[in-house]
A and B are shown apart, each in its own frame.
Chain A
Amino acid sequence: MTTVALKPATMAQALGRALRDAMADDPTVHVMGEDVGTLGGVFRVTDGLAKEFGEDRVTDTPLAEAGILGTAVGMAMYGLRPVVEMQFDAFAYPAFEQLISHVARMRNRTRGAMPLPITVRVPYGGGIGGVEHHSDSSEAYYIATPGLHVVTPATVADAYGLLRAAIASDDPVVFLEPKRLYWSKDTWNPDEPQTVDPIGRAAVRRHGRSATLITYGPSVPVCMEAAEAARAEGWDLEVVDLRSLVPFDDETVSASVRRTGRAVVVHESGGFGGPGGEIAARVTERCFHYLEAPVLRVAGFDIPYPPPMLERHHLPGVDRILDAVARLQWEAQS
């Protein structure tokens, strides 16, 4: 029996490794964005790629997000597989027109003749003490756009696996990277990395019988912590990590809620018009007769992203999650 040496790695390292392996496997994969070359990206995700693959394949572009994504469209039209980095969530907005009017619908408008295999990497979410315009939860904008896949990893292994799957996908993928998990460490075997296939399957991170926490990206570790803390209250919580917002894994989510009979959706994005509303509706439509209580949401407040010294009040934390769990009509059980 051989023992595999599992080493701790950060999510940023796993993402970099995914880019490296994808570029090595497929010469049509190109990485482009602001500071991705010489510097290795402001989060160092692309560190070393320019040296290994050259500036033609790892390109420091002019500072213009619509231009970055717009030229990536043309490159994909010619048969390349661009991986575009948007430096921060709130800096991606200039690229919205290209994303919505072209990237998301090129396959459809050409009756399948010209799909665009583009991966758009977007560091997103709060928790790193970023000043204004560095911490937006922008996922609701992306999931409202048909034609895009929207995925977000919560573990080191998924960061690698989902990014490989995103780059391999013939459809455009918005790849949301939780900034505050970039430096999260996990034991991971970089010699036998696994791709996640297919995109669109949720993972049950913790099995439990009392209620289901449905979450994704940066809120997954928070929910895991909440589930541990809930044991003291006598609740055995299940945690479902969606991994992919589009496509949405109704099957895994519904199966979990049918088992537990209670559900709370947790995300940093604002509640009004956020993914939680859609998720709560889907769960209710599919699990109504199994539900012991209304599906609740724990979300960021419906406010512009707060300044760093106040952001902890905005982000869903363990206490707010447990408060919601406490409101799941347990009294009806006895």
Chain B
Amino acid sequence: MTVMEQRGAYRPTPPPAWQPRTDPAPLLPDALPHRVLGTEAAERVDPELLRRLYAELVRGRRYNAQATALTKQGRLAVYPSSTGQEACEVAAALVLEERDWLFPSYRDTLAAVARGLDPVQALTLLRGDWHTGYDPREHRIAPLCTPLATQLPHAVGLAHAAHLKGDDVVALALVGDGGTSEGDFHEALNFAAVWRAPVVFLVQNNGFAISVPLDKQTAAPSLAHKAVGYGMPGRLVDGNDAAAVYEVLSDAIAHARAGGGPTLVEAVTYRMEAHTNADDDKRYRGDSEVEAWRAHDPIALLERELTERGLLDEAGTRAAREAAEAMAADLRERMNQDPALDPMDLFAHVYAQPTTQLLEQEAQLRAELDAEAHHHEHENEHESEGTAR
């Protein structure tokens, strides 16, 4: 038999262990970010939902402005603003049921507030009187997470645990475009897909990781495309279209609830302010880019829809603004009071039972505080003596 005859008889087979897995086609995101506002789809959305989104966007914008102002007054140590991203923040909060869990990053205090958390409690981390200002279990809001993407595996684990217990609970985890480069993003999505955990990942692609633009962050076709490699659907949405973000998240959550597993949603949006009050965005981006996004403002997009369809009149606009002002005034007033600090709290929650070493250190601090108080008392005595003379 010649070599050619042998070749003719040869039937190539795949390697023994190989078998077809998931069909990638249905997982792929749309070519363009999904839109609802200004399209026919908007007419199918409950007008009450649109009005609610609008009121929360207006309140959210005011909240961002007030929090930024509080940094200038020294009442907040730092504030990473979500101005321009309110549609994502608000939709993420409103789309969840009370029993569901939200996993925010440090830029997502607005999502927590829109979910009903007291703004003062939401801002505790950024004021600096403690790290987390609320009981996560009471509000089903995980602590605001600063190390990027490290909250994502927590969301997966919580969703998985709820699923094992038979509870109808979905976790929604928020992360930015920069966070998608972190290893924890990869590990969280992989675990979520393998476990078919009821979790939804919302990436707010706001264009920048502090100063670094997306093209230095990834070569992926879109961040939503990353989903396909994990075997979960990727969805691309206009992050400034509150109705679209709400719809896409709502679908993803329903999919998760029904046992369909996780979804990765990329919301294309823009950080209108600098990274924080301590950042200077003039060093890495031009005014024209910011102006282009200003024309695509989430509040303006929704306002146009509502006004054109006669769902919002001047009185409605005014009511939303007044509610926002009332929130800001209350926040301002309460944040202008010094928080009550107890240095002994430093030792109170390190362990369930303090170690003997911590008890010794606690006693040391107590003695230092007593000495300080005694010293002040002494000084005051001298002062009052001086006044008497």
A residues near B (Cβ < 8 Å) are 56, 61-62, 64, 66-67, 69-80, 94, 97-98, 101-102, 105-115, 146-147, 149, 169-171, 198, 200, 246-248, 250-251
Q: With A62-B194, A67-B188 known to touch, is A73 a contact of B157 (CB < 8 Å)? A: yes
**Shortest Cβ gap from A202 to chain B (Å):** 12
The answer to whether A109 touches B154, judged by C-beta atoms less than 8 angstroms apart, is no
Q: With A70-B150, A74-B157, A75-B160 known to touch, is A113 a contact of B187 (CB < 8 Å)? A: no
In the assembled complex, the Cα of A169 lies from the Cα of B353 at a distance in Å of 10
The residues of A that contact B136 with a CB separation of less than 8 Å are 77, 110, 113-114
Given contacts A69-B153, A74-B154, A112-B348, 17 further A-B contacts (CB under 8 A): A70-B150, A70-B184, A74-B155, A75-B158, A76-B157, A77-B142, A77-B154, A97-B147, A98-B150, A107-B350, A109-B143, A113-B132, A113-B138, A114-B135, A114-B136, A149-B351, A248-B357
Closest chain A residue, CB of each to CB of B191: A67
**Chain B residues with a Cβ closer than 8 Å to the other chain, count:** 42
The residues of A that contact B143 with a CB separation of less than 8 Å are 106, 109-110, 114
**Shortest Cβ gap from B355 to chain A (Å):** 4
The answer to whether B132 touches A110, judged by C-beta atoms less than 8 angstroms apart, is yes
Q: Of B131, B156, B188, which one neighbours A109 at CB under 8 angstroms?
A: B131
The answer to whether B137 touches A74, judged by C-beta atoms less than 8 angstroms apart, is no
Closest chain A residue, CB of each to CB of B184: A66
The residues of A that contact B155 with a CB separation of less than 8 Å are 74
Does B165 make an interface contact (CB < 8 A)? yes
Which secondary structure dominates chain B's binding surface? helix
The answer to whether A71 touches B357, judged by C-beta atoms less than 8 angstroms apart, is no
In the assembled complex, the Cα of A71 lies from the Cα of B156 at a distance in Å of 6
The answer to whether B137 touches A247, judged by C-beta atoms less than 8 angstroms apart, is no
Q: With A114-B137, A248-B355 known to touch, is A67 a contact of B150 (CB < 8 Å)? A: no
Q: With A101-B147, A113-B136 known to touch, is A147 a contact of B350 (CB < 8 Å)? A: yes
The answer to whether A101 touches B150, judged by C-beta atoms less than 8 angstroms apart, is yes
Does B159 make an interface contact (CB < 8 A)? yes
Q: Of B130, B159, B345, B355, which one neighbours A200 at CB under 8 angstroms?
A: B355
The answer to whether B355 touches A70, judged by C-beta atoms less than 8 angstroms apart, is no
The residues of B that contact A61 with a CB separation of less than 8 Å are 191
In the assembled complex, the Cα of A57 lies from the Cα of B165 at a distance in Å of 11
Q: With A67-B153, A80-B161 known to touch, is A113 a contact of B352 (CB < 8 Å)? A: no
The residues of B that contact A147 with a CB separation of less than 8 Å are 350-351
Closest chain A residue, CB of each to CB of B347: A108
In the assembled complex, the Cα of A143 lies from the Cα of B343 at a distance in Å of 24
The residues of A that contact B158 with a CB separation of less than 8 Å are 74-75, 77-78
Minimum-distance CB pairs A-B, first 6? A74-B157, A70-B153, A67-B187, A71-B157, A109-B131, A74-B158
